Structures are given as C-alpha cells and as structure tokens.
Chain A
Amino acid sequence: SQQGEEDPQALSIQEGENATMNCSYKTSINNLQWYRQNSGRGLVHLILIRSNEREKHSGRLRVTLDTSKKSSSLLITASRAADTASYFCATDRDSSYKLIFGSGTRLLVRP
C-alpha cells in the first residue's frame, strides 16, 4: 500500500508563481524525501528532511515536516517552465531498505 498521499494530484500555475505540494503519511518515519520525475525519465532526488528537523531549504525549494500531523510540504518559489514534472514524497516506513513513495503531484508551470 502507498505510505504517502499527496495533495493536490495535479497543479497548474503561471511561471513566477509559487507551487506548494503536500504529503501525508501514516506511520512514524526516520526521514522523508522529495523526488522529481520529468516525463519519460527516472526520478531525481531533491531534498531529504530527517524526523528531528522541521524545515529545510535548497535553492528555490523549501520543505517542512510536521511529525505530529504526519505531513510534509514542498514549496517551489518563483516557478519556471522547467519545473514542470511530477513530484513524489517518499518515506522509510518499515525498513531503511524500503523507500515508500507517495502518489505524486503533477505540476504544470505555464510560461
């Protein structure tokens, strides 16, 4: 079963706007990761946040983690057309050798 549920399933914004994607999970975790997948390509790691961290930044990306609510959000600021992709959260629910992925958010950034 999927560990993470992402919201929204699809998001369409104008270039320059911010995009926020949310991820909820069900059981305790050690870390939560976000990945991007361009159409027809493999997944690319964006950022990892550990369970004892609340916020992390990387360039135009900002990730928050609320372990009490079992949720995380990914904010992409000043979006670009090149940010168009699917974004997945992933958690190590049962085992450090088993990364479980959410259902993904499809982001479209209109030029």
Chain B
Amino acid sequence: DTAVSQTPKYLVTQMGNDKSIKCEQNLGHDTMYWYKQDSKKFLKIMFSYNNKELIINETVPNRFSPKSPDKAHLNLHINSLELGDSAVYFCASSRGGAGRGGANTGELFFGEGSRLTVL
C-alpha cells in the first residue's frame, strides 16, 4: 500500500527515443508534482497539478508532456530523449498547495524515484 508509487524504477534508453513514467498516489491528495534530481542532487520542480489542472510549468522543454487523467495520477511523457535528460525523476503529492492555509500540512509525499539513463 505504497502512498506514492511510480514506474518504472529504472529506465535505460537511446537518444531520440520516447519514454513515459507513471505516477499514482492513494492518499486522496489534490496536488501532484514532478521533480528532476540531477547527478549533483539538485532537485528542480518541473510541473505541479492541482485537481488535474496544470498550475506550474517551470520552463520545461516541450518535449516533456505531463498528463493527469485524474487527480490520483500524473504521468510524464518525454519525447526525443537527450543525454541531458538523464536524471532521477520524482513524483510527489500534497494535500492542497505546499503550505498555505487551513488544514493543509504543506507536506510533500515523494515516490521512490525513476532513474532515467539516456545513452
């Protein structure tokens, strides 16, 4: 009963290919995120969705297309993969936004990561 699960855990592919990473959360959260962690451990937000609607697109190339079929799922599709896309991609969810108001704890729950290697 993993709270935030993402698949696959490892992905090795050639430059130019298209790949997808899937994410599902069973916490009943309204907000989901994709983060990219590079080899130096820097974590950078890519997208955030609230109730299936795109809220944040952090100047990510058009080759990255998130899709949220429902508020429990946020998938990431990457076209024409480049060497620089190699990283660990983390999905996360939170109840509402990251800390504003009401009963929202602001806490993000992360998946275990999907390590993408582009050769």
Contacts and interface: CB of A to CB of B under 8 A. Distances in A.
Nearest to A95: B56
A79 interface: no
B12 to A, nearest CB: 16
The size class of the interface chain A forms with chain B is 20 to 34
Interface stretch (A18-26, A39-47, A52-60, A68-76): A39-47
A65 to B, nearest CB: 13
Given A2-B42, A48-B107, A98-B48, A42 B113 contact: yes
A97 B106 contact: no
A4 B105 CA distance: 21
Contact of A97 (B42, B55, B105): B55
Interface string A86-111: 10101010011111110110100000
A2 B106 CA distance: 19
- Of residues B35, B92, B106, which shows the largest number of chain A Cβ atoms within 10 Å of its Cβ? B106
Interface in B72-118: 90, 92, 96-100, 105-113
Interface string B35-56: 1000001111100101000011
A104 B90 contact: no
B105 A98 contact: no
B113 A30 contact: no
A43 B58 contact: no
A90 B110 CA distance: 14
A33 interface: yes
A48 B48 contact: no
Given A98-B48, A99-B45, A103-B41, 18 more contacts: A2-B42, A31-B106, A41-B113, A42-B4, A42-B112, A43-B43, A43-B90, A43-B92, A86-B41, A92-B98, A95-B97, A96-B97, A96-B99, A96-B100, A99-B33, A101-B42, A101-B43, A103-B42
